[in-house]
Structure 1
Amino acid sequence: MRYTPDYLLTDSDEVKRLIRENPWATIVSATASGIVASHYPVVLDDDADGISIVSHVGRPDERAHELGQHEVLVIIQGPHGYISPGWYETDDFVPTWNHVTAHLYGTPEILSDDENFRVLGELVDHFEERMPEPMSLQIDEQVARHVATGTVGIRISITRFDARAKLSQNKAPEVVERIVAALDSDGPYSHPGLAAEMRAAVVRAAEMGAAEMRVAE
C-alpha cells in the first residue's frame, strides 16, 4: 500500500479486531506459475502469541498456491466507501475513498487431517453461534469428515503486517462530523459501518493525544 504515515495502523490489537469483524480474506501467492489469489474465511488463533490465523482452502488450491513453500499475503478489507466533497461544506471539491485495510504476511503451515477437521468445526461454530438454532459438524461427524477431505487446513503466523485506517484524519473536526453524519444517514453512499470506524478513530486520536500530554508533564 502507499506509504501514508498519517493513516498507519500499528496497533496489533486493532488489526486483530479488524480480522474478527471482517473474516472474509484474500490470499495472494507469488508462485512459480505466476500470481494466484483465492478468497476464504479466516479466524484468529487466540491461543497463539502475536497474530495467527487459521483457515482452509479447497483442493487443489493448496497446490496452486504452493502453500507452505513461501510467504503469502493475506488481505483483510474492513469498511470502506466513497466520501463526497458535497459533505464537506467547504471549498474543497476533491472526493476520496475511506477505508480500513490490513496486509498480513506469513508462511502457511499445513495442518494435519485431524487438526483441519477440528479447525473446520471451530469455524462453523464461530459463525453459527449467532443463529437461533446453531448447526454443527457434530450433527453427522462421518459425513462432515468426508466433506473435509476436500479441504486443506492452514495456520498462518503473521510475521509482519502493513495496515491503514484512512478515515479523513486530514479534515477539520467539524468536517469529519458532517462526513460521519452523511454516512449514518439513508442518503447516497450511506455506510454506518464506516461511520463507526471514523468515530472510533476520533476516540483513538483523542486518547493518544491525552497520553502524550501526560508523558510531557
Structure 2
Amino acid sequence: MYTPKPYAEAELATLHEGMRAWSFATLVTVGPAGASATHLPFLLDAQDGEAGLLTTHLAQKNPQLEDLRAGREALVIFQGPHAFVTPSWYVKQSTFPTWNYSAIHARGTPRVIEERMAIHAVLRRTVAVYDTPLRAECAGSWDFDAMPFDFVAPRLDMIAAVEIPVQSLEGKFKLNQDRSEEDRRGVIAALERLGEPQGVAVARMMRERMETGANA
C-alpha cells in the first residue's frame, strides 16, 4: 500500500482497534486463475503472535478456497471511514480536491480448517461477537446454541474456516495531516455540518488525532 510518511500508522493497538471496528473486510489472494476477492467477517485474536491472528469462514464452493488450501499469501483489507474533501473548506484554497480515508492491510499465510467441530467453534465465536450483543439491544430470541446439532451439521460441511497469522500489518490514515491545523478544522466543521455518517466518522477521527497529536 502506497503510504506517504505523514499518513502511516504503525501503533499496533490502533491498528487492532481499526480491524475490530471495520471487521467486515476483503480477503484477496492471487492464484492460477488470477486475483480473487471475498468479503467476509473477521475475528481478531490480538494476543496470538506478534501482530495477531485473523479467523473467518467461507463457502466450500468458493473457488478462492483453492488458493487458501495451497497456502498462497492472503491479503485482508480493512476499510475505515472515508469522505471527499473540497478545497472550499480550506483557508488556503490553492490546491485540489482529495479524499480522506483510513485503511489497514494485513498479510499472512492462511491455514484452512475443515474439521466439523472446529468450524462449529468458529461459528459460535462469530455469533458471540456479532449476534449476541444485539439480543440485549433488540430483544432478539434466536439462539445458535439452541439449534439441534442435526440441523446445524449439514451446514458445517458446506463451509470451511480459515486462520491467517498476521505476518505484516500496514495502516494508512489519510486525514489531512499535510494541511495546516486551520484547514483541518475547516474540514472537520464542514463534514460535521453535512452530517453524512461516513464524513462524520472521518471528522471524529481527525478531531481525535488532532487532540492526541497522532500523525501531527
TM-score, structure 2 normalization: 0.87
Higher relative contact order structure (alpha carbons within 8 Å, sequence separation ≥ 6): 2
Structure 2 segments unaligned to the other structure (5+ residues): none
Task: Find 1:95's aligned residue among 85, 92, 97.
Answer: 97
Q: Helix, strand or coil for the counterpart of 1:66?
A: helix
Q: Helix, strand or coil for the counterpart of 2:163?
A: strand
Structure 1 segments unaligned to the other structure (5+ residues): 210-217
Between the aligned residues of both structures, percent identity stands at 24
Q: Kindly indicate whether residue 126 of structure 2 is the aligned counterpart of residue 123 of structure 1.
A: yes
- Pairs within 5 Å for 1:125-204: 125-128=128-131, 129-131=133-135, 132=137, 133-134=139-140, 135-142=142-149, 143-186=151-194, 191-204=199-212
CA distance in 2, matches of 1:28, 1:5: 25
CA deviation after TM superposition for structure 1 residue 144, in Å? 2.7
Query: Does the 8 Å contact 2:36/2:64 carry over to 1?
Result: no
CA distance in 2, matches of 1:66, 1:136: 34
CA distance in 2, matches of 1:154, 1:8: 28
CA distance in 1, matches of 2:16, 2:128: 19
Q: What letter is aligned with 2:62?
A: D
Total equivalences in the alignment: 208
Q: What letter is aligned with 1:119?
A: V
CA distance in 2, matches of 1:147, 1:153: 12
Query: Does the 8 Å contact 1:36/1:64 carry over to 2?
Result: no
Query: Does the 8 Å contact 2:45/2:54 carry over to 1?
Result: yes
2:85 corresponds to: 83
CA distance in 1, matches of 2:197, 2:152: 41
Structure 1 vs Structure 2 CA RMSD? 2.1
Task: Find 1:104's aligned residue among 98, 103, 106.
Answer: 106
Q: Helix, strand or coil for the counterpart of 1:92?
A: coil
Q: Assess, with a 3 A threshold, how the Cα gap between structure 1 residues 190 and 85 changes in structure 2: closer, same or farther.
A: farther
Query: Does the 8 Å contact 1:137/1:144 carry over to 2?
Result: no
1:30 corresponds to: 30
CA deviation after TM superposition for structure 1 residue 151, in Å? 1.1
